[in-house]
Amino acid sequence: MANEINKTVPIKPESRMSDPASIEVLKKAERECVETCFSRYDTQKNQCKFGTSGVCCKICHMGPCRITPKSPLGICGANADTIAARNYLREVVSGTAAHSDHGRHLALLLKKVAEGKEKDYKIKDDAALRRYAKYYDIKTENRGSDQVALELADCFIREFSSQEEPLRTLQLAPEKRQKIWKNTKVEPLGIDRMVVESMHRTHMGVDHDYKNILRQAFRTSLADGWGGARIASMVSDILFETPSPIRSSANLGVLQADTVNIIVHGHEPSLSEMLAASVNDPEIVAYAKKAGAKGVTLAGLCCTANEILMRRGIPVAGNFLQQELAIITGAVEMMIVDVQCVMPSLPEVAKHYHTEIVAATDIARTIGATYFDFDEDNAYESAKNLIRKAIDNYSRRDPAKVAIPRYKNPLVAGFSVEAIRYMLGGTFRASFRPLNDAIIQGRIRGVAGIVGCNNVKSTSDVYTNVLAAELIKNNILVLQTGCSAQCSGKAGCLTPETALEFAGKGLREVCETVGMPPMLHMGSCVDNVRILEAASEIVKEGGLGDDIGGLPAVGIAPEWMSEKAVAIGCYFVASGIDVVLGLPFYISGSENVTNYLEQEAREMFGGAFITIEDPIEAAKWVMKTIEDARDKLGINKKTERKLLDMKDRRAI
C-alpha cells in the first residue's frame, strides 16, 4: 500500500506527515516528550482484525460475538453479512446525525434571528435567503427578510420531523435522479425519523437482511446530503454570507510570535463568526497591547477553519492531524473547540504548555478543558469576553518553548456554486454554460471531488496531493472540501498560478481566462453538498445528459477517517457518482456486503465504491471512469475536419 505506515520499524516524522511545518513540530514533540496521536497509534499495534473486517458484534449483551470460519454465527444466529451491514449502517447514522444536528442548530438560530430574538446575528445575505426560499415555494416578493426567513426556518425545521413526507430538498435533484430514488425506495422521510428508524432496525433482533439494511444506509445518507448537511450549508450562507473567492494562507506558520494566538476548531460557525467579527474590535486590540502583544491572531483548524476562511479570509493553522501540533508550537494562548473531529487528548497535550482548551458547546465537553457558556443572545460581547480570557493567558507563555514553523502558503478559497457561476459568466450572464462547453469540447475532461480527512494510517496529505496533481495535469477540474482542501492549501496548490504551472493545456486555458485555481476550495464537510449542487447545475445547464449519474465526475476520499465520511460517500453513490476510497471500509469480513457496496449499488444508482490505496492508480481509474462517461455521453467523438464550400460559408 502506498504511503502506508509500517509500525514494525521506528517511524520518522517524515513518514507521519509530509508538510515541513508538521515535521518540524513532530520533532519538537519528540524532544519535549509530548504524546500525540502518532505515538498512540504505535501503542495501538495489531489493531483488532474483527473490528477492521466489520464482523465484531456487540449490539446485545450475550456477546460480543466475533465471526470466524469456525464460528460463522453469533450467539443469536446473526451471520457476517448481518453483522457487517448493521455496523456499517450505524456508521452512516452517526455521520448523518453529526451533520444534521449541526444543521438543526443553525436552522433554530435562523428562526430566532427572524423573530428578532438574536441582536448580534443578522441576515447578511438577503439574496441567498430569497434564493433558498424559492426552493420551498415560499413567496418572496413584497415581503420583508424576517418574514421570509421565519417561514423558511420553519420549513427547515419540518425537514427534521417529517413523519410521512419525503424530504422536500430532494426536489433540487434532477428529475431522473428523483425517480431512481423513488423506484429503489430510498427516498428519505424526515431526518430525525431516518436516524431513529435506522437505530431501531439495527437493534438486536430487528432487520437481518443485509441488503435491506444497506439500502437503509443509502436512504439515511440521503437525509444527510440532501437534508441536514444541505440545510447547514444554506443557513450558513443566509446568516454569514454565500462565500466568494477570498485570499488567505494555510499552515502552522500563520501563527505569530508577537501576537496572542487563538485557534478555533470543530465545525459550527456561530461562535467562530462572532470571534472573527470581534477580534479587531479596538477595545480588544487595546487590551492585547496592554498585555504586551501586538494584537490578536485568529486562526482555524478543520472545518470551523473552513467556515471562517471561506467568508472572512481567516487563515488556516492546519487540518485534522495538526490539532495537537498547533499546541506544541508553544504559541497558542487558547484553542476553542466546538463539535466533531476534536481529539480528547488536547487538554493532555496542553498541560505541557500554557494553552487553555475551551469547550464552547454544552454537547461537547472534554475533561481538562474549561467550559465556556457561549451566550448566543449576547454573542458579540460573549465572544469578546472569550478573547479577553485568551489575552489574559498571554503572560503565561514560555518563550523558551515557542517554536513556530515558518511555513505557510497563500491560497484562494470561497468557491460556492454561486461564486463559480458568477466567475464563469460574469454579472450579466452568470451561468454554468462555459464550464459545460469546456467539458463538451474536451478542454476539461471532467470533474473530481476530493474530500475528507487525514488518517494516521498513511502519511498525511501525500495521497491527496499526488492524486490532485495528477488529475489537474490531465485536465480534470478538482473540487475540494474539508481537511482535504486544507491539505492542498498547505501545499500551495489553491492558487491561480498552480494552473499555469501544473495544469494540462485545456484546463490551464480555462483557468487562465477566468483567473481561477485548477483546484477549487468549496468549503467545509457540510459543504460537500455544494459539489452535488454544482453537479445538478451542470445537468440543468444541458448538453451533458439528464442526471448526475452519467456525468464525467468522480468523488474521492483519499485519507478519510470519520463516520461522517462514510455518510458522505454513501450520498455521493446514491446520487449516481462513483466514489474512490483511499482506505477501505470495515466490511471485508462479508463478501456479500462488499459486493453490494462495490457492485450492486451501481445497478441501483449508477455509482458504487471502489478502494484504491495508491494515488497514481486512483488517478488512472478516475481518468478511465471519466473517459468512459464521456464516451457514453457521445462527447468524445472527434469532430471531422471539413472544408467549407460556398453554401456552408453563406450559412455561417
Which residues here bind ligand MSK, judged by CB under 6 A? 267, 302-303, 320, 341, 452-453, 482-483, 524-525, 562, 564
Other CB atoms within 10 Å distance of the CB of residue 135: 15
Give the number of C-alpha atoms closer than 13 A to the C-alpha of residue 538, restricted to the C-beta side.
Answer: 24
**Please, which residue, 145 or 486, has the CB nearer to ligand MSK?**
486
Which lies closer to ligand MSK via its Cβ, residue 16 or residue 630? 16
Terminal CA-CA length for the chain: 56
Q: Rounded to the nearest whole angstrom, what is the least distance from the CB of residue 529 to ligand MSK in the complex?
A: 13
- In the complex, least distance from residue 229 CB atom to ligand MSK, rounded to whole angstroms: 11
Cα distances from 53 to residues 84, 105, 366, 395, 566, in angstroms, run 8, 35, 30, 50, 15
Cell numbers placing 14: 517524515
Cβ count near 540 (within 10 Å): 12
- Whose Cβ is closer to ligand MSK: residue 302's or residue 477's? 302
Smallest gap, in angstroms, from Cβ of residue 41 to ligand MSK?
A: 16
- Do 582 and 615 touch, CB atoms closer than 8 A? yes
What is the rounded CA–CA span in Å between residue 95 and residue 561? 11
Contact 347, 367 (CB under 8 A): yes
Q: Which is nearer to ligand MSK, 453 or 570 (CB)?
A: 453
Residue 526 C-beta: closest distance to ligand MSK, Å? 8
Q: Which is nearer to ligand MSK, 420 or 450 (CB)?
A: 450
Kindly state the smallest distance separating residue 24's Cβ from ligand MSK, in Å: 22
Counting other chains too, the contacts that 46-51 makes at CB distance below 8 Å and 24 or more residues apart are: 50/589, 51/586
Q: Which of 424, 410, 417 is nearest to 516 (CA)?
A: 424
Cα-Cα-Cα-Cα dihedral sign, residues 326, 328, 333, 339: positive
**CA nearest 268: which of 103, 114, 384?**
103
Neighbours of 410 (CB within 10 A): 14
CB of 482 to ligand MSK, least distance (A): 3
Residue 382 CB, shortest distance to ligand MSK, in Å, is: 24
* C-beta closer to ligand MSK: residue 21 or 303: 303
Cell numbers placing 90? 450505524
The CB-of-338 to ligand MSK minimum distance in angstroms stands at 11
Of the pair 266, 550, the CB lying nearest ligand MSK is at: 266
Residue 215 or 267 with smaller CB distance to ligand MSK = 267
